[in-house]
Structure 1
Amino acid sequence: MNFLTVLLTFFVMEGMTWCIHKYIMHGFLWTLHRDHHDHSNEGHMERNDYFFAIFAVPTIALMYYGTIHNFNIYFYISIGITLYGMAYFFVHDIFIHQRFKLLRDTQNPYLLAIRRAHKQHHKHMGKEKGECFGFLWVPVKYFRMYFNKNKA
């Protein structure tokens, strides 16, 4: 049951990420997210990086509460959220935005589709008219670009 809770939480986080990205980051907290789109901050850190702390605090609280109450369901929910956050960091910050130069020359269709969808998201400099707000789920049209390119 604990493994299923972690797994379900991980997958639910994709829907949560889509909603948070579209309605909060491109909504009332656009002031924190804007520099991620317009690259107005010329350092290693962006105001957008504060979302890490914003999301980590409730996750740590769930983990603490779940731990002091004999590793109840809240602990396993926090593990699912943490694993999703780790996946987000590795794929978004390392792979897509190349904060560390890894997997630059991949030919994996899934990873290429994620990268393309994210580029589509970033082509919009303002908070309106956005697309591709998710993270691990990629619209089918981006897969087709890479699966069909080698077929004549």
Structure 2
Amino acid sequence: MTIWFGLLLFLATVVGMEAFAYAAHRWVMHGFGWFLHESHHRARHGNWELNDLYAAIFAVPSIVLLLGGAQLGWWPGFIWIGAGIAAYGAIYFGFHDVIVHQRIPTRYLPKSAYMKRIVQAHRLHHVVETKEGNVSFGFLVAPRPEDLKAELKRRASGRIRAPRAFAEK
């Protein structure tokens, strides 16, 4: 396998993971997996929440593909795909846990229009504390905040909490 094809697989996997993350968030985490994800829509007490188990669950395919491709003689493309999954996980951690939820203290303030948009979209996702009625399930691709606010207003059903400071320390 050429390096160029491997890099293409890697990049396609990173991009494809956003679609996977959207689907997993919308139909698993806000569906039958709510029992784990609900902790993420509540104030966190301490460093960990039950929702953090999803990081371990989603790391398994990456580890298996990396191990299989590198050590078990599977198709070499699996190494690139496993690495793409791991890279998306690292990007997600940086954006979601460090920048948005500030689980690691930082002085970073979003300045670019893109960063402001994804932070605002995720915060708008959190104004609904139940598993139904949410907006913005993706993370690296987010609808315009104005569209999300309009959709939340249209859905207003008593499930939207009053605005509050977002810090969850």
The whole-number CA distance in structure 1 between the counterparts of 2:126 and 2:61 is: 28
Task: Output the amino acid matched with 1:114.
Answer: I
Task: Quote how far apart the aligned CAs of 1:134 are.
Answer: 0.2
Pick the structure with more helix per residue.
1
Give the SS at the match of 2:103.
Answer: coil
Question: Is 1:108–2:112 an aligned residue pair?
Answer: yes
1:11 maps onto 2:12 in alignment = no
- For normalisation by structure 1, the TM-score amounts to 0.88
Q: Deviations over 1:24-62 (max 9, x none)?
A: 0011110100010012x4111000000111011121011
Q: Is residue 64 of structure 2 the alignment partner of residue 54 of structure 1?
A: no
TM-score (norm 2): 0.79
Identity over aligned pairs, percent: 37
Alignment partners' CA distance in 2, 1:11 and 1:31: 28
* Contact preservation (8 Å) 1:106, 1:112: yes
Amino acid at match of 1:75: I
Matched pairs, number: 142
Whether contact under 8 Å (1:13, 1:84) holds in the other structure is yes
Q: Which blocks of at least 5 consecutive residues in structure 2 are unaligned?
A: 148-169
Please say if residues 69 and 77 of structure 2, whose CA atoms lie closer than 8 Å, have aligned partners that are also in contact: yes
Q: CA RMSD in A?
A: 1.7
Matching residue of 1:142: 145
Question: C-alpha displacement at 1:104, in angstroms?
Answer: 3.6
CA distance in 2, matches of 1:82, 1:71: 18
Residues 68, 74 of structure 2: 8 Å contact kept: no
Deviation at 1:142, TM superposition (A): 3.2
* Deviation larger for 27-36 or 95-104: 95-104
| 1:133 corresponds to 2:137 | yes
Distance 1:51 1:128, change over 3 A: same
Residues 109 and 143 in structure 1, CA contact (< 8 A), matched pair in contact too: no
Larger RCO: Structure 1 or Structure 2 (Cα < 8 Å, ≥ 6 residues apart)? Answer: 1
- Find the aligned partners of 1:49 and 1:81 in 2 and give their Cα distance: 17
Shift of 1:131: 0.8
**Per-residue Cα deviation, 1:63-100 (whole angstroms, up to 9, x for no partner):** 10011227611111001000000000000000000112
Closer, same or farther: CA 143–109 of 1 in aligned 2, 3 Å: farther
Verify: 1:76 aligned to 2:73, yes or no: no
Q: What's the CA shift for 1:117?
A: 0.1
